[in-house]
Structure 1
C-alpha cells in the first residue's frame, strides 16, 4: 500500500480513536501534512510529517508505514513521534 486517506490512517494508527472524529478535526483545520492544511480525504504516504492539534497539545509525527489494519500493539509502529508540545493560552 503506497497511499491511504488521512482519516483512515489516524484511526488505524490509533492517533485518533474514531474516524468521524479524525474527519471533524481535519475539517476544522487542526491537521497539517508537511506544513499544508489537510482534509480528511488527503493522501498520506510513508515519510510524510503530520502535525495534529489536540486542544492544548501540538503533536508532530512522521509516517513510517501504512497498513490496512493493525493490532493495538502494532499501531505505534506505523509512525514515529517527532515532537509534542503544550500550547500556552
Structure 2
C-alpha cells in the first residue's frame, strides 16, 4: 500500500493530499529513511511523522483499503510521541 493512502485510511493524516505534501517535504521516515508519498509500506514498518513541533512514531499493525472510523487506530501502534525543543534564534551582537 502507498504511504499516503495508509496515512489517510488509518486517519493519522485526514486527507491524502495533505499526507502527500507532508511526505514530499521530507517529514516522514520509514525505518529511519526519508520517504516520498508513493513509497510502499508493509506490516511491521516503523513510521516517524513530524507534525510541527512533535514527532509521532508508530508501527504498522495491519493494512486495509477500507476501515471504519472507530477501527482506524487498530491499523497502527503508537511507539512514542516526542516534543521537539523550539530553537531560539541566536542573537547577533552588532555593537563593535
Tell me how far 1:66 sits from its aligned partner.
0.1
Tell me the CA shift for residue 79 of structure 1: 0.2
How far 1:7 sits from its partner (Å)? 0.1
What do the CA deviations read for 1:10-55 (whole angstroms, capped 9, x no partner)?
0000000000000000000000000000100000000000000000
Matches within 5 A, 1:6-85: 6-85=3-82
Large movers: runs of 4+ above 2 Å: none
Q: Bigger radius of gyration, 1 or 2? A: 2
Select the structure with the greater relative contact order (CA < 8 A; seq sep ≥ 6). 1
Root-mean-square deviation (Å): 0.4
Query: TM-score normalised to the size of structure 2?
Result: 0.89
Runs of at least 5 residues in structure 2 that lack an aligned partner in the other structure = 87-96
If each structure's strand is expressed as a fraction of its own residues, which one has the higher value? 1
> Any stretches of 5+ residues in structure 1 without a counterpart?
none
TM-score of the superposition, structure 1-length normalised?
Answer: 0.96
